[in-house]
């Protein structure tokens, strides 16, 4: 089943390569979407793909890369759109 989720990650997640780690992990899992830094210090991402791979990405965001200190992860399911053809970092 194809799903879409929007994820908001707070904590020490900017300036530690979090976005690049998420992009690498998403590409390795075949998940599409995007990730970006928000002005308030959180990181926002949208993942689309098979349910299992998307849930693995949510788990990755909860753990974060080694230098990150994830405090909270909010996950909102959205309607699958199939609009993405890859995964990118938004500026």
Q: Give the pLDDT of residue 26.
A: 97
Topology at the third CATH level for domain 2-78: Alpha-Beta Plaits (3.30.70)
Contact 68, 13 (CB under 8 A): yes
**28: three-class secondary structure by DSSP:** helix
> Out of 6, 36, 37, 77, which one is annotated catalytic?
37
Quick check: is 37 catalytic? Answer: yes
pLDDT (tens digit per residue) in 3-62 = 999 999 999 999 889 999 999 999 999 999 999 999 999 999 999 999 999 999 999 999
Give pTM, 2 decimals. 0.94
In the chain, where the domains are located: 2-78
Across the beta sheet with 87-89, what order do the strands follow?
A: 69-78, 2-12, 43-50, 32-37, 87-89
Question: For residue 89, which of 47, 37, 49 has the smallest C-alpha distance?
Answer: 37
Phi, psi of 74 (to 5 degrees): -105, 130
pLDDT (tens digit per residue) in 67-88 = 899 999 999 999 999 999 999 9
Within its chain, how far is the Cα of 25 from the centroid?
A: 9
């Amino acid at each position: 089943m194809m799903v879409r989720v929007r994820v908001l990650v707070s904590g020490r997640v900017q300036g530690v390569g979090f976005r690049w780690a998420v992009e690498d992990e998403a590409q390795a899992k075949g998940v599409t979407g995007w990730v970006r830094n928000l002005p308030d210090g959180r990181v926002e991402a949208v993942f689309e793909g098979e349910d299992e791979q998307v849930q693995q990405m949510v788990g990755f965001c909860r753990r974060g890369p080694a230098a990150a200190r994830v405090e909270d992860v909010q996950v909102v399911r959205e309607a699958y759109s199939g609009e993405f053809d890859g995964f990118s970092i938004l500026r």
